[in-house]
Structure 1
Amino acid sequence: MRTELASEPGERTRPNEDFASVGLPASGQGGALVVLDGVTPPRGETGCLHSVPWFTARLGGALTELTVSLPDVPLADALSRALARTAEAHATTCDLSHPRTPQATVVLARWSPESVEYLVLSDSALLVESPDGTVTPYLDDRLSRLPRASLATDALIDAHIRNKEGGFFTAAADPSVADRAVTGALARQEVRALAALTDGATRWVEKFREGGWADCFTLVRKEGAQALVNRVRALESADAEERAYLGRSKTHDDATVVYAEL
């Protein structure tokens, strides 16, 4: 088994709001990966005393522990427990009902000798390579399917779209959101390798159209996780003035790639 991780902030002067980990149980049987992309809030109140990196570190740490130490607990249940634990850590000091309370997208994968389980919530991605080289993306595409007009302002998103029926969901303070995640399981023999990417890394496919998911996976497998981040940074810099691809998006976003060859 081989694992590789690259994570880089969008701006060197700002903390990285992503979280990534790979957990390997002491038994040597199986493992798990966790990737979170903290949601950068707009300027203004969030109802919370804590930063997004504080939240992703807390939630990511809890998920790493739970996915490894409780292998028989489904991933959605592990996410629910981790959210409840994280919420409890700041419920007495913060307004967790605020729509901009710290939150994150989630990718989880856990493998054993028998199966590979996965969970995806919001717009990060999990790529799975089969033994014949076929690459299958596992995505939660609810955000990408929303009408652009519904995302026109932060106020509109908070009132009608974020963590609302007919909108999209992120991991914030409500443990029940775990039931909204895209989940599933594959037979272990059907999986050769995995790659989990935050949307700062999926820009190579989704914004810059440099290739499809299979091309993206091949790049990571052959050149490494950092190579994909470097390619994205070069594309972002080249588009900084024309914004032909980035549009309203920020020039550089936190980018994380975790690769696991099983």
Structure 2
Amino acid sequence: MRIELTSEPGDATHPNEDFAALALPASGQGGALVVLDGVTPPAGDDGCLHSVSWFCARLGGLLTELSVSHRDLTLSEILAEAVLRTADTHGSTCDLSHPRTPQATVVLARWSEAAVEYLVLSDSALLVEAPDGTVTVLLDDRLARLPRAALATDALVDARVRNKEGGFFTAAADPSVAARAVTGELPRGRVRALVGLTDGATRWTEKFRQGDWTDLFAVVRKEGAAALVERVRALESADRAERAYLGRSKTHDDATVVYVEP
């Protein structure tokens, strides 16, 4: 089994709000991949005493443990349970109804000898390579499909589209969001390798248009997970002044890449 994992903060002075983990059960059969991208809130009150990094560590830790210890549960059920347990840890001290309560995007994959299950919520990505080299991207593209006008201000996003029908969904404090995730199952024989990425790493394809998803997968397979992040950082730095590709987005974002050949 080949495994590679890299995670780099966008700002060295700010905590990395991504989370990534790989788990291999003691039975030696199967495994699980977890990737979270914490949602950085705008300056101001978010109703919570805890940081986004704190939230992602707890939610990610629970997702990792539940994915391998409760194989009787679906990935949607695991996400719902992890969100509920995480909310229970700070519901007495924090306003979990606040639209900016700590939250994250989610990528989950779990494999056995028979199948590979997957779950994607919000704008992180899971790439699946078949034995013949075909690469399939699994996305929750609801955020990408929203008109720019719907995302014009933070207040507008919070009021109309964040975790609302017709908008997009993230894992925050409501376990029912698990039913909104993109989920599915593939025969184990149709999967040669997996790559989980936060949107700080998918920038190579989605923002800078350096290649399609197959090209991105090839970079990770041939050069390694860290090489993809290095390429993204170089592109970000080159566009820092003109912002032809970056636009209004932050120059550097937390970037995480997980590669596994199960």
Aligned to 1:146: 146
Tell me the distance in 1 between the aligned counterparts of 2:186 and 2:216. Answer: 21
Counterpart amino acid of 1:61? Answer: G
Counterpart amino acid of 2:90? Answer: H
SS of match in other structure, 1:178:
helix
Aligned to 1:215: 215
Aligned to 1:87: 87
Aligned to 1:113: 113
Tell me the distance in 2 between the aligned counterparts of 1:254 and 1:147. Answer: 25
1:17-42 C-alpha deviation (Å, 9 max, x unpaired): 00000000000000000000000000
Counterpart amino acid of 1:102? Answer: P
SS of match in other structure, 2:232:
helix
Structure 1 residue 2, shift from structure 2 partner: 1.2
Aligned to 1:14: 14
Counterpart amino acid of 1:19? Answer: F
Tell me the distance in 2 between the aligned counterparts of 1:55 and 1:164. Answer: 21
Tell me the distance in 2 between the aligned counterparts of 1:26 and 1:224. Answer: 27
The percent identity for this pair of structures is 77
1:69-93 C-alpha deviation (Å, 9 max, x unpaired): 1112100000000000000000000
Tell me the distance in 2 between the aligned counterparts of 1:36 and 1:103. Answer: 9
Q: TM-score, normalised by structure 2?
A: 1.00
1:93-115 C-alpha deviation (Å, 9 max, x unpaired): 00000000000000000000000
Which aligned runs of 4 or more in structure 1 are off by greater than 2 angstroms?
none
Tell me the distance in 1 between the aligned counterparts of 2:159 and 2:112. Answer: 41
SS of match in other structure, 2:234:
helix
Structure 1 residue 127, shift from structure 2 partner: 0.1
Aligned to 1:40: 40
Tell me the distance in 2 between the aligned counterparts of 1:21 and 1:66. Answer: 12
Q: TM-score, normalised by structure 1?
A: 1.00
Aligned to 1:201: 201
Aligned to 1:56: 56
Q: What aligned pairs does 1:143-182 form with structure 2 within 5 A after superposition?
A: 143-182=143-182
1:136-188 C-alpha deviation (Å, 9 max, x unpaired): 00000000000000000000000000000000000000000000000000000
Tell me the distance in 1 between the aligned counterparts of 2:152 and 2:37. Answer: 22
Counterpart amino acid of 1:3? Answer: I
Tell me the distance in 1 between the aligned counterparts of 2:160 and 2:47. Answer: 19
Counterpart amino acid of 1:173? Answer: A
